Amino acid sequence: MIFRRAAAQPTPLEGVDVVLADLDGVVYAGPGALPHAVDSLNRAQNEGRTLGYITNNASRTDASVAEHLSSLGLRVAPSDVTTSPQAAMRLMKDLVPAGATLLVIGGEGLVVEVERAGFAATRSADDNPAAVVQGFAPEVGWAQLAEAAYALATPPEEGGIPWVATNTDWTIPQARGIAPGNGTLVSAVHTAVGRLATIAGKPERPIFDEAIARTGAQSPLFIGDRLDTDIQGAKTAEMRSLLVLTGIDRPKQVLAAPPTQRPDYIVEDLRQLFEPYPATVVKGERTRVGDAVVEIDGVDLRIVSEGRPIDLLRAGAAAIWNSGRAIFGFRVPPQLYADPFRVR
């Protein structure tokens, strides 16, 4: 029998010089910190690693984000925070002349970055803007979306102006639950004008490039809670990624993740940044992680040994991912997609 061992670092932080973390669902949900997040990030910083924060939320400035994080007990300066509006301005500088007027669909965080980049901000399509930049803010409503549609009525191939969206997250976690995100607002404009926006934030590369430039990272680790934005974005930016199960995506999504959205590490919470990460051991049709063992038997994925819940999820995911088959090609036992990890 041939054994194949996956190379595993002692901990997810081994060899990492900069830890880059998403915010919503990783550090906090709503105004409050998630369990163990602040203590774990402070420990990483105390052990000599640089911390940086990346957020697709365009409603706040880097300074207000830093103030919020500081109030939770983290040591953060505005320069440690990379926002999707900053990434949008990185793109916009290549699309329109310096000092041009931009139609802003969004909140203060977006307006501040537009003006910081040397552009003029307007709220009206009647001001003949050179481009539209769109980002999330709770106050965005029909009137702002209509202005975007008016400004973008001419197709690009007929000389229409550029349209940059800070991000297209479909949802955003809040203290009361999951709420619609910027993707729903961008989709509304898309439906009206029949064209697509250029995306600056996760999962696209500009926001990661901006964070690397700010932190000088050589060997970063990105921590996120969403597969389709955080993990896919980190893979696009060619950096290691860690999925923490304190936010949006749950075990079902992990097991079904396509190759572009598979993290290097899966953890329950950020305390496991400091735990030895168990190797994935494959022997024939069996996959073992720690004491958890699963086996592929035709269309059945069987649990041979449960072990710790997190190791069982890691083993099940590895078995499905390494099989070359999609999850709908298996009968998966309920224990594998049970969710004992959800923050209560």
At 289, which helix (H) or strand (E)? strand 286-289
Residue with token string 């390494």: 322
For 136, half-sphere exposure in the C-beta direction (CA atoms, 13 angstrom radius) is 24
The residue from 22, 62, 264, 269 that is catalytic is 22
3-class secondary structure, 242: strand
How many Cβ atoms sit within 10 Å of the Cβ of residue 282? Answer: 17
127 is catalytic: no
Residue 333 neighbours by CB under 8 Å, 6+ apart: 301, 302, 303
Per the annotation, the verdict on 22 as an active-site residue is: yes
SS3 call for 271: helix
Q: Where are any strands of DSSP class E within 62-162?
A: 81-83, 101-105, 120-122, 131-134
Got the DSSP string for 178-195? EEE-HHHHHHHHHHHH--
Q: Of 55, 57, 21, nearest to 182 (Cα)?
A: 57
Separate counts of helices (H) and strands (E) for the chain: 11, 20
Closest by alpha carbon to 119, among 93, 101, 95, 104?
101
Query: Hey, which residues are catalytic here?
Result: 22, 24
